[in-house]
Structure 1
Amino acid sequence: MSFSPLVEQLMEALRVLPGVGPKTAQRMAMHLLERNREGGERLAAVMREAVERVGYCQRCRTLTEEPLCGLCESPRRDDSLLCVVESPADMLAIEDAGGYQGRYFVLHGHLSPLDGIGPEDIGLDQLDTLMEEGQVQEVVLATNPTVEGEATAHYIAAQIQRHGARLSRLAYGVPMGGELEYVDGGTLSRAFSGRLPFLGE
């Protein structure tokens, strides 16, 4: 048995979301059509407006419907400190953790020559222009600890060095509350290489 063409189109459309396979899409479609048409209408309206109006911040490239996002507009942020992240979700995670008061630059991805993603595709020309303004004194490379993330960090580091700014990398290691026997070898190795003095009694 197959559903009507419109129902099939709805299920296929829902599958563009990450992690949504055929069964999940079917469940979502059935829920909207059988139990929550009002919610479906609101979802459709907000989705259409977001797709039409949300773009990139002119300075940090995060998602916003304004020319500059709220963080770039804030006079309380430290202009001398710039954190480079791969996605707006990474930026949000750092903000939620608290403690960081600098600015951001969002790449929207990482370098991947095999996929045809080069420096211009992740805004590195715009990052270079930002560095030329001369306000940034330190760049924190907060790309993900993957092969592509590390390659991207090294490429950006070479680019930043021309501007004379300090470079730092997010520390990776043993998580708080974690047990050593369950930590993978790569994380342990990085934790040892990045160890700090212990100021105990």
Structure 2
Amino acid sequence: MDRAPNDIEALIAQMARLPGLGPRSARRLVLHLIQRRDQSMRPLLAALDRVSQSAQTCSQCGNISTAPVCAICTDTRRATGEICVVEDVADLWAMERGGVFKGQYHVLGGTLSALDAIGPEDLRIPQLVDRVGNGGVREVILALAATVDGQTTAHYIADALGHTGVKITALAQGVPMGGELDYLDDGTIGAALRARKDF
């Protein structure tokens, strides 16, 4: 076999390692890029090179940015006194897609996990306590997963911020819009029942 197919197979193998892509999807993607080098591959390579040089973690919230402080943190219209705490950058981006939250964020970089030996110092919890302690924050919204580790982390943060007097809230949990009870697990139904509100 000549060199080109080996290089192509190596590219397919690299693409297949990306989240959401398996070997078949990676093969189709690589074929598409090769067949459209000028329209797709070269602009993609240029964009990848630029991002690999400029991407960094926002020093304030932990978002991914191309500047030391991200656009969300520098936007004065978002200085509402609300900080939404999320597990990772993907969660921040998901919240932004909704376009509803107009405050600022704090990315923890994971959740507490005794099993994986992840403690508060391994996450950005001390930085959150410092941000709240610096003043100007009136509410911390805990937007963490409804898992054991997520809820353990939420309780830890609530305890760590308890002395500040800042309002601490959590996202509602329960039946999703369009969800049918028959398809929901018992934990989701229980959470929805406990979080019921006036109709």
TM-score by length of 2: 0.87
Moved more, 186-195 or 153-162: 153-162
- CA distance in structure 1 between the aligned counterparts of 2:180 and 2:24, rounded to whole angstroms: 37
Contact kept? 2:87, 2:111, Cα under 8 Å = yes
Gaps of 5+ in 1: none
The amino acid across from 1:37 in the alignment is R
Q: Map of 1:156-195 to 2, 5 A cutoff?
A: 156-195=157-196
Distance 1:113 1:65 in 2: 34
Q: Quote the Cα distance in structure 2 between the aligned partners of 1:92 and 1:180.
A: 28
* Shift in CA distance, 22/176, structure 1 to aligned 2, threshold 3 Å: closer
Aligned-residue identity in percent: 41
Conservation of the 8 A alpha-carbon contact between 2:175 and 2:192 = yes
Partner of 1:37: 37
- Equivalence for 1:148: 149
Moved more, 111-120 or 166-175: 111-120
Instruction: Figure out how many residues of one structure are paired with residues of the other and give that number.
Output: 197
Q: CA deviation at 1:114?
A: 3.1
TM-align CA RMSD: 2.1
1:86 corresponds to: 87
Deviations 1:41-86 (A, max 9, x none): 2212211221221111121111110122222111112442111011
Unaligned runs of 5+ in 2: none
Please state whether the residue corresponding to 1:162 is helix, strand or coil. Answer: helix
CA distance in 2, matches of 1:112, 1:30: 41
User: Offset at 1:113?
Assistant: 3.7
Bigger shift: 110-119 or 149-158?
Answer: 110-119
Deviation of 1:30 after TM superposition, in Å, equals: 2.3
Report the AA paired with residue 121 of structure 2.
Answer: E
Offset from partner CA, 1:118-174 (integer Å, 9 cap, x none)? 323321222122122022121110011122211221222221213222211100111
- 2:108 aligned partner, one-letter code: L
- Does the 8 Å CA contact 2:92/2:105 hold for their aligned counterparts? yes
Partner of 1:132: 133
* Residue in 1 that maps onto 2:74: 73
How far apart in 2 are the matches of 1:182 and 1:122?
Answer: 34
Residue type matched to 2:187 in 1? Answer: G
**Post-superposition shift, 1:116?**
4.2
Q: Distance in 2 between matches of 1:62 and 1:108?
A: 10
Q: CA deviation at 1:194?
A: 0.9
Q: In structure 2, how many angstroms separate the alpha carbons of the residues matched to 1:137 and 1:95?
A: 21
Aligned positions of 1:89-104 closer than 5 A: 89-104=90-105
After superposition, the C-alpha distances for 1:7-38 in whole angstroms (9 at most, x for unaligned) are: 222122212311222222222222222x1222
Counterpart code for 1:10? L
2:141–2:170 CA contact under 8 A, matched in 1? yes
Provide closer, same or farther for how the CA distance between residues 21 and 98 of structure 1 changes in structure 2, counting only shifts above 3 A.
closer
